[in-house]
Amino acid sequence: MKRLWLLFAQTVTLLLAGFFVVATLKPQWLDRKPVLSSVVPVFESASSSSSQASNGVRGFSGAARAASPAVVSINTSKAAENAAQSEDPWFRFFFGDQGQAQPQTGLGSGVIVSPAGYILTNNHVVEEADEIEVILNDGRKSVAKVIGTDPETDLAILKIELTDLPVITLGNSDDLLIGDQVLAIGNPFGVGQTVTGGIVSALGRTQLGINTFENFIQTDAAINPGNSGGALVDVNGHLMGINTAIYSRSGGSMGIGFAIPTSTARSVMESIVRDGQVTRGWIGVEPQELSKELAESFGVPLGTGVIITGVLQNGPAAQAGIRPGDVITTVAGRSVSTVAQLLSAVAALAPGTPATLELIRRDGKQQVDVTPGKRNLQRPTPAR
């Protein structure tokens, strides 16, 4: 009996083993679907997901491919200024040529914005340079000429004489939102063109002490020395800003970089190309942010306008009857609630053309017509 039971058990085991082998290797013999068929949709889904991820990656690489050819490296040099004693034969006899200063060189980036060869960059990249060399991403080189500069926004326009130039597409920086993804393209530390990625961390940054007119895009895309003048682009490769400055304790990127919006760069560029300079309005006032106490004193909501604490004698504002204590709320129909907004609105006025300002005094609201003068960089503060 024991032997029969053992024989039965062995037979069942062999049958089960055979069934498993047939079911796995030749399921069609049993007229059933493969055991692993249920796994297939999972791999298909993963493949589809990977394809979508790849498409996203290709989107960023597509933006880089679209914008990178138009981003150039800029090398500058400035002739050395020798110390006065370096020409003294006795000084040279005892100390040799130690007084012979070496030429100063600089590195930066720029963006080709026109087939005619116009390049947008930072003023501090080319300031006081005697020679400027532009190196394209395709290896071509050209000496550049300065068409004009605007130190108050730290922008400059160069021009090179080359053909078949790649041109970047100017985007609308006013459409940017905090959290939008952006790429920074430039030549950091002279290592060669580099693309870094990040998001828009903040918009409308002011009072940083970098420029007179500030309206920066803040990004955490890595920006380092040499990136100045380079491109900040969106995921379509459209130019959204000109990389300008970083906050850093070490000299390298700490995730806080600033770019000049394309909206500002476009207007400056058009003025420089058209007139050779940027012409801005000026009315001669000293403004101050409206504090909570001052707002309550004047009976106006906080953030309604900007209070005037000083008026330049015989300036346009004084001639129009504006006086200290006035709270300016609008300039030519444009609402202002900060000093930066007032400065920008007044600068946008055409010199010699009257403009209407709305203001609040203790005796109520008033309108005054001011004929702005031409803003001069040499004017001392208070000249807003």
Is 138 marked active-site? no
Calpha distance 248→253 (Å, rounded)? 6
Q: Determine whether 318 is exposed, middle or buried from the number of CB atoms within 10 Å of its CB (0-12, 13-18, 19+).
A: middle
Q: Give how far the C-alpha of residue 216 lies from the chain's centroid of Cα atoms, to the nearest Å.
A: 7
Is 124 marked active-site? yes
Catalytic residue among 154, 220, 234, 326: 154
Catalytic residue among 109, 228, 253, 263: 228
Catalytic residue among 68, 73, 109, 124: 124
Residue type, 173: S
Is 228 marked active-site? yes
Angle at CA of residue 246, ends 244 and 249, nearest 5°: 150
Calpha distance 244→122 (Å, rounded)? 7
Residue closest to 121 by CA, chosen among 239, 221, 250, 208: 239
Task: Cis check for the bond before 382: say yes or no (omega within 30 of 0).
Answer: yes
Going from the C-alpha of 21 to that of each of 12, 17, 18, 37, the distances in angstroms are: 14, 6, 5, 16
170 DSSP 8-state letter: B
Strand partners of residue 358: 330, 367
- Residues with catalytic annotation? 124, 154, 228
